[in-house]
Amino acid sequence: MPEEAEKTYTRADEAFDCIQTSIVKGELAPGEKIGELELCTRFNLTRGPLREALGRLESRGLLVRRPHAGVKVVSVSASELVELYRIREVMEGLAARQAAERMTDSEIADLQATLDAHEQMIDEAQGQAYYQAEGDYDFHHRIATGSRNTKLAQMLLGDLYYMVRMYRYRLSTSAGRPHRALGEHRRIVEAIAQRDGELAEFLMKRHINAARRNIEKQIQDGVLTI
């Protein structure tokens, strides 16, 4: 047999995943105060593992906790969301540069293939923001892991993306943006394929910059109220 990376899952892991996805999907709204007992009944577990999971979620910044007072889902202000994109800009810029230096040829080929798939998704699911977002997430995910920088990938995938995705669900991507974003993705992968790390970094930073400006515009227009 090739490889059995089967990790035994504990109840706390389970709780962590469940609550995290619930927050990201918006089933637990930002700012909402949640009781431990309520969570226990909802996810079928006892308070021991739950509290361990809450500790992890707090440390990741998805929850805020006041002793004896309870837990509530973190609510990110509009300005804080913009700040998140400023961080993404520099970190993913680095990830793109290191990915250009370190991704294998087959990984790059895979990446190009997924871009084709994304294009189809955009054409088919015309305006289905959800699938566009998933495709975008997939792209950035691959670059992060492709950087071969363990901590960088961990910070991007484990911290930033979850917070960004919390708001992806309510962000209306403006009309032409998906196609333009795909084009930007293509150029980034081209730079990576040519092993031009400097260019990949530049293009990735500009790509996220554009996304940030798009959000700032929505905030100004009052479309996005947080």
Give the x/- contact pattern for DNA in 187-226, rule: CB under 7 A: ----------------------------------------
The single residue listed with the structure tokens 């500790």 is 55
- Choice between 11 and 177, CB closer to DNA: 11
Q: Which pair of tokens denotes residue 215?
A: 């959000």
Contact partner at residue 55 from a copy of itself, DNA, none, CB < 5 to 8 Å by partner kind = a copy of itself
Nearest approach, Cβ of residue 46 and DNA (Å): 3
Among residues 24, 103, 108, 163, which is the contact residue for a copy of itself, using CB under 8 A?
Answer: 163
Q: Quick one: CA dihedral 220, 135, 89, 175, positive or negative? A: negative
Residue 26 binds a copy of itself (CB under 8 A): no
**CA of 37: how far to CAs of 11, 53, 57, 68, 129, in Å?**
16, 14, 17, 14, 35
Q: Quick one: CA dihedral 186, 188, 194, 199, positive or negative? A: positive
Give the x/- contact pattern for a copy of itself in 93-132, rule: CB under 8 A: xx---x----------------------------------
User: Residue 109: how many CA atoms within 13 Å on its side-chain side?
Assistant: 3
Do 203 and 100 contact (CB within 8 A), yes or no? Answer: no
Q: Quick one: CA dihedral 154, 156, 160, 166, positive or negative? A: negative
Residue 84 binds a copy of itself (CB under 8 A): yes
Residue 133 binds a copy of itself (CB under 8 A): no
Among residues 28, 57, 63, 71, which is the contact residue for DNA, using CB under 7 A?
Answer: 71
Nearest approach, Cβ of residue 193 and DNA (Å): 41
Q: Which residues lie near DNA (CB under 7 A)?
A: 8, 10-12, 34-37, 45-49, 51, 65-71
